[in-house]
Structure 1
Amino acid sequence: MMPLRFIFLFLSISFSAAAQKDYKVWLQYDRITNTTIASEYKNNIKGIVCLGNSQTSQIALKELENAIVNMLGNKPIFKSEINGENNLIIGSQSSLNPDFKNILKDDFEKINNEGFIIKSIHFKNKKQLIITGKNDIAVLYGVFNFLRLMQTTTSIQNLNIADSPKINFRLLNHWDNLDRTVERGYAGFSLWNWQKLPEFIDQRYIDYARANASIGINGTVLTNVNANALILTPQYLEKVEALAGVFRPYGIKVYLTARFSAPIEIGNLKTADPKDPEVINWWKNKAAEIYKRIPDFGGFLVKANSEGQPGPQNYGRDHVDGANMLADAVAHFGGIIMWRAFVYSEHDANDRAKQAYAEFQPYDGKFKENVIVQVKNGPIDFQPREPFHPLFGAMQKTPLMMEFQITQEYLGFSTHLVFLPQLFQEVLESDTYQKGKGSTVAKVIDGTLYPNKLTGITGVSNIGNDLNWTGHPFAQANWYGFGRLAWNPYLDSQTIADEWLRCTFSNEENFIKPVKNMMIESREAVVNYMTPLGLHHIMDTGHHYGPGPWVSNLSRPEWNPTYYHKADKNGIGFDRSKSGTNAVSQYAPEVGKLFDNLQTCPEKDLLWFHHVSWDYKLKNGQTLWNGIALRYQEGVNQVTAMRDIWKKTEKYIDSERFREVEMLLEIQQKEAKWWRDACLLYFQQFSEKELPAGVEKPTQTLDYFKSLKFPFAPGN
């Protein structure tokens, strides 16, 4: 009898209505219409032999069966032993007979514990296809990779793939609260129905694990970094244990956020001082309690002494004291502590962009070996464009974990089509120069620049309980793309876009080429219509929805957009050069020199590092004022072009998803114009210059834009 969890699995992936395609994300398994490729797969998969009998092995086997039935139209023949030729054999290294192990000896030396091998071999003069790895989870990764080849109609003649993840910890951070609201969530409520857990296992939990496993994500932080201590109580740990049981066969560990004041709030202690013996003992007992329930619990993520969250500084201690105390509590069990470096203080408003570096860089080499410092991609806060964070490369003795934001807090929420792998790739390819040319951010986080044992990358999740998971069909590409780059941070975003489109929509080249170009252009479009030429953090306050460059009345200076653009009659931009806040000194000399010089600073970062005259001549000969205005208009034009491209795709995909994206692009164009008009009207007060030819005149007044309020914007 098939286990109940497998019945659930196939209920979720057998929807026939086109409207349900959104739910299936990139695991559509549509019929292969290329008859040559279909015949090739049929001829090479005469039978399937599964050498394992674990829960993970059975998941891999059923995934293959479902995919082959749907993509090739025939039910595969399952064999208990290898006979005949053209079998597809799946099994871990330990399940292989000595002959297979000998054939694959060199291949196994190329992979790590999560890596897989997909290879065409000859065994006893008969051709076979094998998917293997050092354990069953690795085999599952290999199966999903093989199915991606099928979905993208890739030939499988003479396959010889040996692939391993380059990063150890590949996580999603859910900013989900216990009441099911999601901070900065734009796709409905939290997936986790705490009220019904642990008895009720929602089908979505299984499908979530499956989707993550298909792209190599191996961990999930279930709760918000603005943490609630209740998650660490027995009432909730029982529920976390149930989720861990669902995720385990898919290779996914659970992690929790630890509220630093938990010993006070749920432990009845009078202090949370990390040097206090009772506090130290409380955390050790709590860790033991968790690991007794969940032996493979991953560890804790901590936001401390940031934006009002409690931390060691409340007791005159520092980040090292706090992180190392927690590290000791989980070390015995193999757990890790992810300590966020997102800190800034109202008491040092000189330059918020400098504070994380100033606070953490002096601690290099002082953290325990199971601590990894989690650093946002840029020094401010997930802006449409930021220079890379100066901590990357500057802490040689401390492993750093990249924190990207998949949810689009500052990029139009889930109503705007923005392909974020373009942003991720730009950051990963940035050269820190910390050990000379070629010292990229990717090499920092994958452990090749400095030999740190822990390597990690995490993405703030954009997943909710909307039918399509992410609120926008194309936002699924950001979840997918994050997973692919977490596995291999050197992948090209164009390759990722191509894969995703083929798996999600169609292999028709007349669809792929224009829509892929649209995706690749989309990130630059949003930068243009929101924050061109290095502008940043000029979103409206609180909800971060829409423009608010005029906001200047908040209690802390660095919460106000006017703090970041500093527009006046002399120009615009934040001076971080040596003559300004000297933030450039936090980078390696080669990079700092580049940013410091107005003539060599990349124009995409110009107003991030310099306060520039409205009459300054850009490289294209335009004045800065004209250049800003034309960039805003270009952003609007790019969204118009996106709409035009999408209108021509109707014949290639189902009508439901076509119409869904069409409506969202209409919203995006309307809001791009809103951004253009509101920002230009505001900045025009200072430049006192006319809009250049080619820029559409605003149809509303600045007062109108200032009057707009959004008290119920999602994710606030």
Structure 2
Amino acid sequence: MKKTFLTLLFALATGVLLHAEDGSRLWLRASRNPSPCKVATNDRSATARIAVQELSAYWHGAAVRLVRDKSADSGEGFEISSAPDASGVTVKAGTSRGLLYGAYELLRIQDTGLPVGALHIKEQPTVRYRLLNHWDNLDGSIERGYAGRSIWKWDEIDGDKGTMITALRKRLTDYCRANASIGINGSVINNVNASPKMLNATYIKKVKVLADLFRDYGIRVYLSVNFASPMAEGGLPTADPLDEGVRRWWRDKAGELYKAIPDFGGFLVKANSEGQPGPGDYHRTHAEGANMLADALQPYGGLVIWRSFVYGNHEGEDRVMQAVSEFKDLDGQFRDNVILQCKNGPLDFQPREPYAPLFDNIRQTPMMAELQITQEYLGQSRHLVYLAPMWKEFFSFVRPDSLVGIAGVANIGDDANWCGHHYSQANWYAFGRLAWNASLSSDSIATEWLKQTFTHDTAFVNPMREVMASSREACVDYMMPLGLHHIFKADHHYGPEPQGFYPQYPIEWCPVYYHKADSAGIGFDRTMSGSKAVSQYRHPYDSLYNNIDTCPEEYLLWFHHVGWNHKMKDGSTLWQSLCSHYNHGVAEAQRFADTWKRMRPYVDPQRFDEVSRRLEEQVENAREWRDTCLGYFQTFSRQAILPEQ
């Protein structure tokens, strides 16, 4: 009895240390005020009310005024200023959403330990549309999801009553808070490989329940749609976009959606790609298909976001060239409310790709960049790989202000920690921060996230920021260095398979198609002597990439078939450099694990142990990548594999 009492007493005394930490609070960990902070506002909207609630509960400074200034910019920007005598803080914006974003910025300043006494901040988002793309299916599975099942529990939503169960509402409210805190203003809630059922009356009622919750946090709901929905759901004999019955069906469906959800964002469409139906089935163009949907949505202000990830319709053409072949000649033919959404690279979210040349070839049609937050090809939820450096690399070639939006394929599931790996939360966070302010550095975002998620202690923040900053390059090194790409295992895309050739699949799904290793060398010749993919790039990149002597070595094997004994810039041969990169990647993975071991004093036991296990698995998988790839490529190079240093 005495022992039990002492154990209970100790637990109460050290409750913070003993509390199980599952990561569910993400980066929103400010301690609640014992008594509410004084917050006043002249805005009576539900969105402003949330801003008041957040500041009242979590702001520990002087009184705050939230001022809706109708003479200010009507966008989502805000201004924050401190009173000269430090007696209060004013957040001013032209919209309720601006006030909410300003409130979260004020909390971020506090929660990262920045001074709050003399604030003079003015911010506007870099792009207008900042969307998560969820690849969630109606059965609860998630395509390329690595954090459990879908957070949309459709059987827990009563569309007729407009309600959802309490636990689900709490979880989805946390989802809204997290997104609003980093400026995300839209969510496509279902897979681009869309089920037509998403548009039936039952699901529209359920989607309305989500939209009613999201709205107050400044988040609009969008839906991925199946182009053949008029056939599957409407019983029509065709989905031809020029058929009047089909056009009428989409107009009626748009009216039904907007009656239920007046601020519905619009449609995301994957068409004539990887088996999905589209206008090409009827010998119509992408523009004709997109415009039919755009005409249906236009009276309500809705968007059609048409994905450019289309290949397989140009037999024999290099896959990375096919998006330009599909869309370049259609530029200028799309309705004003159509946006082309293009992946950052021309292939498929590889650890490193050059930027997609479609961004150089579309000049009259608004474009969005599609980034992948879920780590389909970068270790999934098993590897610590911080993606902000990769996205910043992309933005060094494609100016963010040339885009109207940025979409991120979400890494969110119903795991307690949302993202499968505690450090994968940083990629969700970084996506939102860069979509809001693309000028932020990846290091500064990592610092923000570490301080809000773990601790301000520099003995933790500095080494772990360095680990995060190095992690993407390490992943490239132990997976696909020097421009190698698409040499992963089929279907699940985890682990190496450079020898992969699958007769049952299209050749452009096979690793051997991409590395083209032989006794002479390795790499895909995309120069003007090869597939001519370099011709799709603007100057100077066309000539830069075409010349083996000027092509950046990080893209060398993407654009050139290179001899095994080719002399690299550091004096080594290509084979020696390949070995060195693989060895360096493995050494870095081990260094990350060793660094984390020293972080035990600064991290709660649960998260420490869970991250430790992931890092150990990352080291093992990095070794597997190195040993498999070098072992296979050695059969062509016939040279010794360099040992680890």
TM-score, structure 1 length as denominator? 0.85
The correspondence for 2:211, drawn from 219, 240, 244, is 244
Which residue type is aligned with residue 130 of structure 1?
T
Matched residue, 2:7: none
Matched residue, 1:649: 599
Matched residue, 2:518: 568
Matched residue, 1:668: 618
In 2: Cα distance, 1:131 partner to 1:362 partner: 47
Which residue type is aligned with residue 65 of structure 1?
S
In 1: Cα distance, 2:644 partner to 2:142 partner: 41
Matched residue, 1:63: 54
Matched residue, 2:23: 22
Matched residue, 1:444: 402
Which residue type is aligned with residue 606 of structure 1?
L
The correspondence for 1:156, drawn from 110, 116, 121, is 116
Which residue type is aligned with residue 552 of structure 1?
F
In 2: Cα distance, 1:614 partner to 1:652 partner: 47
In 2: Cα distance, 1:518 partner to 1:266 partner: 50
Which residue type is aligned with residue 76 of structure 2?
E
Which residue type is aligned with residue 625 of structure 1?
W
Matched residue, 1:343: 310
The correspondence for 1:422, drawn from 389, 403, 411, is 389
Write the deviation string for residues 487-540 of structure 1: whole angstroms up to 9, x where unpaired. 112221111101111111111111111100000000000000000000000001
1:372 alignment partner, SS class:
strand
Matched residue, 2:236: 269
Stretch deviating more after TM superposition (318-327 or 20-29): 20-29
The correspondence for 2:103, drawn from 133, 143, 146, is 143
Which residue type is aligned with residue 67 of structure 1?
Y
Matched residue, 2:193: 226
In 1: Cα distance, 2:38 partner to 2:269 partner: 49
1:188 alignment partner, SS class:
coil
With over 3 angstroms needed to count, the CA separation of the structure-2 counterparts of 1:532 and 1:178, relative to structure 1, is same
In 1: Cα distance, 2:28 partner to 2:19 partner: 14
Whether contact under 8 Å (2:74, 2:95) holds in the other structure is no
Matched residue, 2:40: 49
With over 3 angstroms needed to count, the CA separation of the structure-2 counterparts of 1:31 and 1:255, relative to structure 1, is closer
Which residue type is aligned with residue 82 of structure 2?
S
With over 3 angstroms needed to count, the CA separation of the structure-2 counterparts of 1:611 and 1:516, relative to structure 1, is same
Deviation at 1:66, TM superposition (A): 2.3
Whether contact under 8 Å (1:646, 1:662) holds in the other structure is yes
In 2: Cα distance, 1:16 partner to 1:692 partner: 46
Matched residue, 2:367: 400
Q: Does 1:200 align with 2:164?
A: yes
Q: Does 1:638 align with 2:638?
A: no
Aligned length: 622
In 1: Cα distance, 2:223 partner to 2:368 partner: 16
The correspondence for 2:68, drawn from 73, 92, 100, is 92
1:461-500 superposed matches below 5 A: 461-500=410-449
Matched residue, 1:369: 336
Identity rate of aligned residues, in percent?
Answer: 48
Deviation at 1:462, TM superposition (A): 0.1
Write the deviation string for residues 601-623 of structure 1: whole angstroms up to 9, x where unpaired. 00000000000000001111111
1:273 alignment partner, SS class:
coil
Q: Does 1:352 align with 2:310?
A: no
Deviation at 1:564, TM superposition (A): 0.4
Matched residue, 1:380: 347
Deviation at 1:652, TM superposition (A): 1.2
Deviation at 1:414, TM superposition (A): 0.1
Whether contact under 8 Å (1:392, 1:444) holds in the other structure is no
Deviation at 1:332, TM superposition (A): 0.5
Which residue type is aligned with residue 399 of structure 2?
V
With over 3 angstroms needed to count, the CA separation of the structure-2 counterparts of 1:17 and 1:271, relative to structure 1, is farther
Matched residue, 2:251: 284
Whether contact under 8 Å (1:393, 1:441) holds in the other structure is no
Which residue type is aligned with residue 313 of structure 1?
G
Whether contact under 8 Å (2:375, 2:411) holds in the other structure is yes
Write the deviation string for residues 235-275 of structure 1: whole angstroms up to 9, x where unpaired. 10000000000100000000001100000000010000000
In 1: Cα distance, 2:54 partner to 2:353 partner: 40
1:354 alignment partner, SS class:
helix
1:490-529 superposed matches below 5 A: 490-529=439-478
1:589 alignment partner, SS class:
coil
In 2: Cα distance, 1:21 partner to 1:548 partner: 34
RMSD over aligned Cα, in angstroms? Answer: 1.9
1:575-586 superposed matches below 5 A: 575-586=525-536
Unaligned runs of 5+ in 1: 1-13, 33-41, 77-85, 95-104, 431-439, 446-454, 696-716
Matched residue, 2:126: 166
1:459 alignment partner, SS class:
strand
1:419 alignment partner, SS class:
coil
Write the deviation string for residues 130-152 of structure 1: whole angstroms up to 9, x where unpaired. 01211221111001000000001
In 2: Cα distance, 1:323 partner to 1:17 partner: 55
Deviation at 1:18, TM superposition (A): 4.0
Whether contact under 8 Å (2:86, 2:118) holds in the other structure is no
Deviation at 1:126, TM superposition (A): 8.8
In 2: Cα distance, 1:590 partner to 1:146 partner: 43
